[in-house]
Structure 1
Amino acid sequence: MKQILCPQCRGITQKERIVPGETVLCAQCAHPLLKTSEHDLIADVPDCLYCSSAIQDGDVSVYCPECGAEFHHECWLENEGCSTYGCTQTGVLKSAPLKITAEMLEQAAYSADVQRRTFINGIPQPSEPNGPGCFGVLFVSFLFVFLIFGV
């Protein structure tokens, strides 16, 4: 029994056997999971294109929506997408680099400073709306230098 993970709704569709010329749809959201042509050769025990080991019955697999390559679910996540050279799904799960602005750092330092002063040993303290204070300015300065020079 094949278990195919839907990239759209994260549901698992179980399929006894995939035959050439068949389109497999997600059981939950009807998203197309795999489309085969009549000329495709479908192995009984296919190999994962990332780790090269067999995808056994009961293993959750993912088919690349672009090229149709089959992967173990864990391999798809570890590789952050397809491992087929030239496929548009290569690295599709990679997250964009986090961009931190000086304003974000200043606000984070101010919030941390206010939160630190709000409770000391479980006792509420009056908040100070006068800005980040000495600790906040020092913290922002340190982070700014760290981000710029990598020190």
Structure 2
Amino acid sequence: MTREELTNLALSALGQGLADERQEAMGTLATLILRGRANAFGMLHAYALIATRSWVQRHGEADRDGLWVFGAVDEEGADVPIDAVEQHQIFAMRFTVACANDDDAMMAALFEVAAGHPDPFYFPQCAIAVYDLALESLRDVAPDAAP
């Protein structure tokens, strides 16, 4: 798969998500995941970049010496203990924060652990969580966005 094809499919899935076509978006994600590890990593990286750019648009650039961090909050904004968060959601945040911090080694390590996980459903759940994070981040900065 070429970089252009990967980009088109990844953006197509986001467009489907923005149009509330969840089933179609999941089919597009499955296509990307099944095309091999390099394509799956490229897809996750693209979604992490989209989420990161959305964060920057919403919150501004981090200080030169600063790092992005994450925490979990409920719908009212109260802190949620990290052990109450699903593992694939933690993966999505860690992967995206590693991207935001330009930590390529951490992104690669997280990807290898998730892609090599013995549970065949774990990696797809992680990929969907990164996708959902990008989609949620886009909706946060552009609530009226639609394809």
TM-score > 0.5 by shorter chain: no
| Structure richer in strand, relative to its length | 1
Pairwise TM-score range, normalised by the shorter structure:
under 0.3
Structure with higher helix content: 2
Structure exhibiting the larger radius of gyration computed from Cα positions: 1
Larger RCO, structures 1/2 (Cα 8 Å, 6+ apart) = 2
